[in-house]
Structure 1
Amino acid sequence: MTAPSLDALRPALEGVVASVIATCDADGLPNVSMISQVHYLDPERVALSYQFFNKTRRNLLATRRASVQIVDPETMRQYRLDFDYEETLTRGPLFESMKAKLAGLASHHGMEGVFRLLGADLFRVLSIEAVPGPTIAHTAQARPLLAATRRACDALDACTDLEELLDRATEVLEAQFGIRHSMVLMAEDGEDRLYAVASRGYRSSGVGAEVQFGEGVIGVAAREHTPIRIGHMTREYRYGAAITETARRAGLIDGAPRAIPFPGLAAPRSQIALPILEGGRLLGVLFAEAEETLRFAYDDEDALALVAGHLGARIAILRAGESDEDAPTPGEKLPLAGVVTVRYYAADQSVFLDHDYLIKGVAGAILWRLLREYQATGRTDFALRELRVDPALRLPAHAENLDARMILLRRRLEERQSCLRIEKAGRGRFRLAIACRLTLEEPA
């Protein structure tokens, strides 16, 4: 039997069937045990999960050699891989990716609290040998991921503004990859958090929901700039409908939380988060989840990483044309009906309409600035350029996410169906549409 390349063995490295590792001590005495995770790294290397300092671990450190037998769960074909130990990583992208995957495996096997990753042992593959034995025919038809990726990228290329692009990103995941639940989150300039700007497949959009760096698969993917994928449900990486402890500490106003609930599935069994990068800089995260176990395999990760990369490039291209500005289009003056009290809390730049939370952060500061200008002068037409240079908004020196914040603010106002709206008024311009009388308050 001719053994395939390591690339072709990736289905056997998902952890569906436990692998067996054999080592010897310095005197040649063999030891065989089970291993939780054999992680594909590249065509020549894998990483094994280091969880316990046991006989296997001592043998590895003594001889630097190991043999691992893996099983393809679809065909039951078995392969023996001989390894040479290189190093152990205890932090960084690879470690975090394996840690997340191990948490899912631990939950699947009822071993939460027992399976804890201490390190990622890197090995170079010296040889691959097919092990003779009974097999079953592979009947599942492979999804045409390459064609789906090409069509997805073509669809993103057709978008002419950022808002259309972000919505299209979630649309193509469903249309081309059959992924029903997804969202795009953008990074907050100068802060270790992201906020949702587009979503698909959820009962509520969750636009404005925040995720801190390091929180769940989304936050870890953002912090480490690497895809994070889980194939089994685990409490350790779940997002609850309630706000996080970080958000609770960040703002309480008379007991009212300043946060928007995360819109994710109540019981996801598979999740994947892919950083959206441009020139090595984090722009956001593309996130998808499913109710099926092991919905996202290595090939799905590769395809979605390409889509996320293309999304980052398109965002950069669209932003490069932001300096262009159209003449303002004429607007319609709306009749005023009713009174709404807008409260602004400078501590976290949060805005409440009457007693209901709307938004916080830079988006909140933008809305407050516009409303004060309107109240003082009656002005309703504005340009993005003037907001960028306004010191009162406390934007970071090289803030580039102003467009995403305006999308977030516009959608939050639309969802609230309030008497306030923000409308596009040409390239680089927008307009306040106000259909009520406003009372502005800034409590101490």
Structure 2
Amino acid sequence: MTLKVDAIRECLEGVIPGTMATASPDGMPNVAYLSQVQFVDSDHVALSYQFFNKTRQNIMANPRATLVVTNPVTVRQYRLSLEYLRTETAGPLFESMKAKLAGIASHTGMSGIFRLLGADIYRVHQIQPVPGESLPPPAPQRSLLSALRNCTERLAACTDLEKLFAETLACLDKQFGIGYTMIMVLDPVTGRLYTVASHGYDASGVGSEIPLGEGVIGVAARERTPIRIGHMNAEYAYSRAVRESAAHSDWASALETEIPLPGLCAPRSQLAVPIMAGQRLLGVLYVESPQDLRFTYDDEDALVSLAHQLGLSMHLLQMAADTVEETPAMTPASPKPRGTPLGIRRFAENDSIFLGDDYLIKGVAGSIFWTLLRDYADKGRTEFTNRELRVDGRIRLPDVSDNLEARLLLLGKRLVERDAAVRIEKTGRGRFRLRVDRPIRLLEEYA
């Protein structure tokens, strides 16, 4: 049987450098170690181009090469016959290799030397096992295909976004054995990702943000490609969101408006997978581990499939949330709020909301919350629908991809985490109510 590249992907993790042999036009051979070999598909690999050295000179003149790779567990070796096709210097494949190479460089203490200049694409004409002794492969710890099946069945049964996110992270823990996970949703208005659910951390980090292109999460989102790193990597560690203070307001700039991202202090393995609905980016599914090389190509495949299911479910549930139930659930009348009035302050510059002196939320979610509070204060309203919010000009929702239901979920979680005297409670499909337990006093600040 002819071997294909996908059968030897364990050899392409960068644990043991590959050995590449090339020849000049006059037949002079050259052998060099290679930092990274990336799986592309069953017939192609990508090799890291970092230096204009003898290997590079030979390939530009003679596109044929031989590559030997080693399975780091069984030490079985394979010889690949290659033909150079092209070099990519941007795009998903390049970014994926750049991130992985940065992890390898950090692990080996060569961060200042290992810099990716391009991803060289090769066609694999033949793969031959190299004769020699090898170790038996270890028994798999779990069946990823079975885990994926169980997860997709549980996700398909979810009837709202909150349960969908919770089930996804629970499945990653129980079925895949991944204990540190988070889901981030894209805000197309600001071009940032915000945390809507996390698992395994001391603090949930709900509401924390990261811009597109920053760290492993931001790069995976920007390029719409999975990014997997197997070693500690300071360059691609996600960083906390940059503080966005209201520069023209002394009071606002003195307050903390940054919600720290959840996460391990020193993750040894990271995998960020875009959540897509068709060609539209919805967010990122992120997992990490304190163990080196925790996530394999097979883990990546499984989580990419899971993220596709998650994206489709998110899309369908958000559309369903705009369909209001004809007969809403009966809710008891709320008692009149008692106690000391709670001052709720809004800064119009970025719609940041403070409960007293405590930061709550900003952006579109802040605008939604302020709209609800204004209707409550001015009209005594407590019952609302997704549909009316979507067309409310005060909120300034984007025309497409507004993720309204996800924003409401984020707002509701932040209110619970802050133990606020104001809560959002679902009363049916596309319906919710505002519960106010203390008198409120609304204050607006303008630049």
TM-score by length of 2: 0.95
Is the contact between residue 422 and residue 432 of structure 1 (CA under 8 Å) also seen in structure 2? yes
For 1:133 and 1:304, locate their aligned partners in 2 and report how far apart those are by CA, in whole Å.
35
- Kept after mapping to 2: 8 A contact 1:193/1:213: yes
Mapped partners of 2:218, 2:246: distance in 1: 20
The structure 1 residue matched to 2:243, chosen from 238, 241, 248, is: 248
Is the 2:216–2:238 contact (alpha carbons within 8 Å) kept by the matching residues of 1? no
Aligned counterparts of 1:428 and 1:268: Cα–Cα separation in 2: 39
Q: Please give the residue correspondences for 1:128-277 in structure 2 after superposition, counting only pairs within 5 Å.
A: 128-141=127-140, 143-240=142-239, 243-244=240-241, 247-249=242-244, 251=246, 253-277=252-276
* Deviation digits for residues 382-421 of structure 1 (CA, Å, limit 9, x no counterpart): 1111110011111111244000000000000000001111
SS at match of 2:213: coil
Partner of 1:343: 345
What CA distance in whole angstroms lies between the structure 1 residues aligned with 2:141 and 2:58?
A: 40
* Aligned partner (choices 418, 421, 429) of residue 416 of structure 1: 418
Q: Report if the CA contact (8 A) 1:195-1:211 is conserved.
A: yes
The offset of 1:191, in angstroms, is 3.1
The answer to whether 1:305 aligns with 2:304 is: yes
1:108 counterpart = 2:103: no
1:103 CA displacement: 0.8
* Cα distance, 1:133 vs structure 2: 1.9
Q: What amino acid is the match of 1:19?
A: G
Aligned residues of 1:88 and 1:122 also touching (Cα < 8 A):
yes
Other structure's SS at 2:445 match:
coil
For 1:418, the aligned partner's letter is A
Contact 1:93–1:225 at 8 Å: present in 2 too? yes
Contact between 1:363 and 1:406, CA under 8 Å: does it hold in 2?
yes
Structure-2 separation of matches of 1:239 and 1:418: 29
Gaps of 5+ in 1: none
Q: Which deviates more, 415-424 or 395-404?
A: 395-404
Q: Distance in 1 between matches of 2:246 and 2:164?
A: 32
For residue 251 of structure 1, report the CA deviation from its aligned partner.
4.9
Asked if 2 retains the 8 angstrom alpha-carbon contact of 1:251 and 1:258, the reply is no
State the distance in 1 between where 2:401 and 2:212 align: 18
1:392 aligns to what SS in structure 2?
coil
1:45 maps to what in 2? 44
CA–CA separation in structure 2 for the residues paired with 1:69 and 1:232: 23
Once the two structures are superposed, residues 155-176 of structure 1 have per-residue CA deviations (whole angstroms, 9 ceiling, x without a partner) of 1011111111111111110111
Q: Is the 8 A contact 1:336 1:434 kept in 2?
A: no
Q: For 1:271 and 1:256, locate their aligned partners in 2 and report how far apart those are by CA, in whole Å.
A: 32
The CA deviation string for residues 291-343 of structure 1, in whole angstroms up to 9 with x for no partner, is 11011000000011110001111122223323321244324414422221111
Distance (Å, rounded) in 2 between the aligned partners of 1:79 and 1:53: 26
Query: Conserved in 2, the CA contact under 8 Å of 1:82 and 1:128?
Result: yes
**Counterparts of 1:4 and 1:73 in 2: how far apart (Å)?**
18
Q: Taking structure 1 as the reference length, what is the TM-score of the superposition?
A: 0.96
How far apart, in 1, do the equivalents of 2:66 and 2:34 lie? Answer: 11
Q: Distance in 2 between matches of 1:4 and 1:126?
A: 10
**In structure 2, what is the equivalent of residue 330 of structure 1?**
331
The whole-number CA distance in structure 2 between the counterparts of 1:399 and 1:225 is: 16
CA distance in 2, matches of 1:55, 1:267: 37
Give the Cα separation in 1 of the matches to 2:3 and 2:408.
Answer: 51
- Number of aligned residue pairs: give it: 439
SS at match of 1:149: helix
Over residues 276-300 of structure 1, what are the superposed CA-to-partner deviations in whole Å (9 max), with x where a residue is unaligned? 1111111111111111101100000
For 2:331, the aligned partner's letter is P
Partner of 1:357: 359
Q: CA deviation at 1:38?
A: 0.5
Deviation at 1:92? 0.4
Provide the C-alpha distance between the structure 1 equivalents of 2:2 and 2:13, rounded to a whole number of angstroms: 19
Letter in 1 for 2:289: A
Contact 1:221 1:228 in 2 (8 A): yes
What is the one-letter code of the residue matched to 1:428? Answer: G
Partner SS for 2:376: helix
Task: State the Cα deviation string for residues 354-405 of structure 1 (Å, max 9, x = none).
Answer: 1111101100001111111111111111111111001111111124400000
Secondary structure of the residue aligned to 1:430 is strand
Give the structure 2 partner of residue 55 of structure 1. Answer: 54
Q: Which residue of 2 aligns with 1:402?
A: 404
Deviations 1:187-214 (A, max 9, x none): 1133311111111111011111111100
Asked if the contact 2:20/2:67 (under 8 Å) is kept, the reply is yes
Task: Write out per-residue CA displacement over residues 25-68 of structure 1, whole angstroms, 9 at most, x where no aligned residue.
Answer: 11111111111000000000000001111111111111111111
- Residue 385 of structure 1 corresponds to which residue in structure 2? 387
Cα deviation for residue 249 of structure 1 reads: 4.9
Q: Which runs of 5+ in 2 are unaligned?
A: none
Identity %: 51
Q: Give the CA deviation at 1:248.
A: 2.4
Q: Distance in 2 between matches of 1:47 and 1:130?
A: 20
- Structure 1: distance between partners of 2:5 and 2:183: 32
CA contact (8 A) 2:320 2:430 kept: no
Deviations along 1:1-22, one digit per CA (max 9) or x if unpaired, are x773211110000011111111
Query: Secondary structure of the residue that 2:210 maps to in structure 1?
Result: strand
* More off after superposition, 125-134 vs 173-182: 125-134
**Cα distance in structure 1, aligned partners of 2:391 and 2:272:** 33
Separation in 2 of the partners of 1:399 and 1:44? 37
- Measured on the aligned residues, the alpha-carbon RMSD in Å equals 1.4
Separation (CA, whole Å) in 2 of partners of 1:13 and 1:164: 37
Distance of 2:296 and 2:201 partners within structure 1: 23
